[in-house]
Amino acid sequence: MNAIEIQHLRVGYGDKVLLQDLNFSIATGEVFVILGGSGCGKSSLLKNLFGLYQPLAGDVLIDGMNITKAQGQERQNIMTRFGVMYQQGALFGSMTLLENVRLFMEEYTQLSRPEMDLLARCKLDLVGLLPYASYMPNEISGGMQKRAAIARAIALDPKILFLDEPSAGLDPITSADLDQTILDLAKNLGITFVIVSHELASIYAIANRIIMLDKESKSIIAQGDPRVLRDSSADPRVRQFFNRVMTKEVA
Ligand SMILES: Nc1ncnc2c1ncn2[C@@H]1O[C@H](COP(=O)(O)OP(=O)(O)O)[C@@H](O)[C@H]1O
Ligand SMILES: [Mg+2]
């Protein structure tokens, strides 16, 4: 079964259409990566997928349930199936890592404090941060902050995780650590990942499948295995994208 199905989706704000008639699906357990130039609407698409913004048209089905139409309890049910790490996905600076992870549990569960603490420690352990549970966000590195944000995003055991440019601003080694965390969570917990990314090394490391969005045509210009696209896409825009990023990486 597909974790997410996108049907005739139009992404934008008011009169401004960023992407139109998008149709694609994301399989359960897949690490799915969304590519595309700056400003083409990747973050906006992601926000449509997890229901923060209503799309201009079309439908998004999560585990078969239509998030664009659901209301009340049904919407609440869908919302608990996924976790989100935003592009500016900062932790709450005045709380420890443990408190950051516990926050959603306090809001959405009836667990006791010791139960929440135990679970929050488990989540921190999953991303390799258990020894830092009592640290404040500004006491740890940028890469650790990203991993802590992932621990917070999995606080409620989501089936799907949306990450917007998780490795932005990280050096290659820290970025590779984060990729490994993502792969571990996909493999060990069966979480479906939907990730916006620019980093080619990261894309090859984690992506089962990608789609590439194009600002001009407001549509998907490539989809599939990133290596196959790199080696055999007939579309010069696709080749240019992979080559541009590669040139930047070598430099
Ligand atoms: N809440 C919003 N209201 C109106 N326009 C927005 C909003 N969020 C983003 N935009 C605009 O939509 C376009 C695409 O933004 P975004 O989805 O962030 O692109 P990307 O993530 O691909 O860089 C940009 O021109 C941006 O200014
Ligand atoms: Mg963005």
Would residue 134 count as lying in a domain? no
Ligand 1 atom 17: residue of nearest CA: 41
Residue 94, classified by CB atoms within 10 Å of its CB into exposed (0-12), middle (13-18) or buried (19+), is exposed
191: how many CB neighbours lie within 10 A of its CB?
23
* Encoded amino acid at 152, one letter: R
Q: Which residues, including other chains, have CB under 8 Å from residue 137's CB and lie 6 or more apart? A: 90, 91, 92, 93, 95, 97, 100, 145, 148
Distance, in Å, from the CA atom of 46 to the CA atom of 172, rounded to the nearest integer, reads 24
The per-residue DSSP string of 173-223 comes to: HHHHHHHHHHHHHHHHH--EEEEE---HHHHHHH-SEEEEEETTTTEEEEE
Atom of ligand 1 nearest to the CA of 196: 21
Would residue 222 count as lying in a domain? yes
CATH code: domain of residue 64: 3.40.50.300
pLDDT tens track of the chain, all 251 residues?
899 999 999 999 999 999 999 999 999 999 999 999 899 999 999 999 999 999 999 999 999 999 999 999 888 888 888 999 987 768 999 999 999 999 989 988 999 999 999 999 999 999 999 999 999 999 999 999 999 999 999 999 999 999 999 988 889 999 999 999 999 999 999 999 999 998 888 999 999 999 999 999 999 999 999 999 998 899 988 988 887 755 444 44
Q: How many domains does the chain have?
A: 1
Ligand nearest to the CA of 18: 1
Distance, in Å, from the CA atom of 22 to the CA atom of 24, rounded to the nearest integer, reads 7
What are the C-alpha distances in Å from 185 to residues 39, 62, 101, 219? 29, 20, 16, 30
Q: Which residues line ligand 1 (CB under 6 A)?
A: 13, 18, 36, 38-44
Ligand nearest to the CA of 215: 1
| Residues less than 5 Å from ion ligand 2, measured at CB | 42-43
Distance, in Å, from the CA atom of 166 to the CA atom of 7, rounded to the nearest integer, reads 26
Ligand nearest to the CA of 40: 1
Would residue 115 count as lying in a domain? no
13, 33, 88: residue to mutate for ligand 1 pocket, most atoms within 8 A of CB = 13
Q: In terms of Cα–Cα distance, which of 54, 83, 70 is closest to 192? A: 83
Range of the domain at 248: 1-81+208-251
- Is pTM beyond 0.85? Reply is yes
Ligand 1 atom 5: residue of nearest CA: 13
* 53 CA → ligand 1 middle, Å: 12
Q: pLDDT tens for residues 42-92?
A: 999 999 999 999 999 999 999 999 999 999 988 888 888 899 998 776 899
Would residue 128 count as lying in a domain? no
